[in-house]
Amino acid sequence: AQTVTQSQPEMSVQEAETVTLSCTYDTSESDYYLFWYKQPPSRQMILVIRQEAYKQQNATENRFSVNFQKAAKSFSLKISDSQLGDAAMYFCAYRGETSGSRLTFGEGTQLTVNP
């Protein structure tokens, strides 16, 4: 079974600074997608970014980018120029070609942005 691990329960960053959230996963599948979701206090689950395993180029969405290391099974999220609105719980998630339609989540990292 696929597993996703986020080893940082909490992180903090100063406004305008850069922070990196870690995620590792375990799978035997050859093709899969990885996602980062953001959950602010409003409880909404918001898709931040996604990465296909076969793409070597790291995905980027504005201030959000990933560092995808397939051999190491690592998928970290970098947030540049952090803003107060980035404060949220961030979840790493995995969805594979043979694991059915399930999206498997990590435990989450609570990000605090200090003014």
Partner 1 sequence: DTAVSQTPKYLVTQMGNDKSIKCEQNLGHDTMYWYKQDSKKFLKIMFSYNNKELIINETVPNRFSPKSPDKAHLNLHINSLELGDSAVYFCASSQAGFNSPLHFGNGTRLTVT
Q: What are phi and psi of 114, to 5 degrees?
A: -95, 135
Cβ proximity of 106 and 89 under 8 Å:
no
List the interface residues with partner 1, window 34-53 (CB under 8 A).
Answer: 35, 39, 42-45, 47, 50, 52
Q: Which of 33, 58, 70, 74 binds partner 1 (CB under 8 A)?
A: 33
**Interatomic CA distance for residues 50 and 43, integer angstroms:** 20
Q: How far is the CB of 90 from partner 1 (least distance, A)?
A: 11
Tell me if 62 contacts partner 1 by CB under 8 A.
Answer: no
| Residues making contact with partner 1 (CB under 8 A) | 31-33, 35, 39, 42-45, 47, 50, 52, 89, 91, 95-97, 99-105, 107-108
